């Protein structure tokens, strides 16, 4: 009788060990096959911070703000604004900007295929007596 109880306990211990082994293997597989995020870096926060810094510079610079307010909707971005954007954005990003009405949906005409596009707007409302609110929206995606 004593021998039977010892064998019975060993059986339960082996079942628990097997269950824990299966759980460990499943956990490792889930981590490794987690939708390809292993080894991929997330640059979104860094891109958004850089975009906000550039847009804040444009928003606070009187000459750049005047250039944005003087531009027509849908036309090319003023050269001084485009120069500031290109100067401040890192080399690994391609960026494009667009000036739209403040209450309109502002979208990039043609989005790059198979790229993550990061967009950030800023409202440019007035410069001196000129009150003609617009939004300047900056679109960026990775160059590679």
pLDDT band at 10 (very low <50, low <70, confident <90, very high): confident
Q: What is the mean pLDDT of residues 104-129?
A: 84
Closest residue by Cα to residue 68 from 43, 101, 106: 101
Mean pLDDT over the full length of the chain: 84
Q: Is the pLDDT of residue 81 over 70?
A: yes
pLDDT in tens, 45-70: 899 999 999 999 999 998 998 888 88
10 Å Cβ neighbour count for 71? 17
The pLDDT of residue 116 is 85
- All structural domains of the chain with their residue ranges: 1-40, 44-142
Q: Is 112 exposed, middle or buried (0-12, 13-18, 19+ CB in 10 A)?
A: middle
Q: What is the secondary structure of the chain as a DSSP string?
A: -HHHHHHHHHHHHHHHHHHHHHHHHHHHHHHHTSTT-TT----HHHHHHHHHHHHHHHHH-HHHHHHHHHSPTTSPPPHHHHHHHHHHS-TTEEEEEEEEETTS----SSPPTT--EEEEEEEEEEETTEEEEEEEEEEEEE--
Identify the sign of the CA torsion 30, 33, 37, 39. Answer: positive
pTM score, two decimals?
0.69
Q: Of all residues in the chain, what percent carry a pLDDT higher than 90?
A: 34
Q: Is the pLDDT of residue 37 over 90?
A: no
């Amino acid at each position: 009788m004593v021998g039977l109880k010892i064998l019975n306990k060993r059986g339960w211990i082996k079942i628990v060990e097997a269950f824990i082994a299966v759980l460990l293997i499943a956990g490792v597989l889930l981590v490794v096959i987690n939708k390809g995020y292993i080894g991929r870096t997330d640059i979104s926060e860094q891109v958004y911070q850089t975009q906000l810094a550039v847009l804040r510079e444009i928003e606070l610079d009187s000459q750049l703000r005047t250039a944005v307010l003087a531009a027509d909707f849908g036309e090319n971005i003023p050269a001084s604004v485009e120069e500031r954007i290109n100067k401040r954005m890192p080399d690994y990003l391609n960026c494009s900007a667009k000036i739209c009405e403040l209450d309109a949906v502002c979208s990039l005409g043609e989005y790059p295929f198979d790229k993550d596009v990061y967009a950030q707007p800023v409202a440019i409302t007035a410069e001196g007596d000129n009150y003609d609110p617009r939004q300047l929206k900056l679109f960026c995606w990775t160059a590679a």
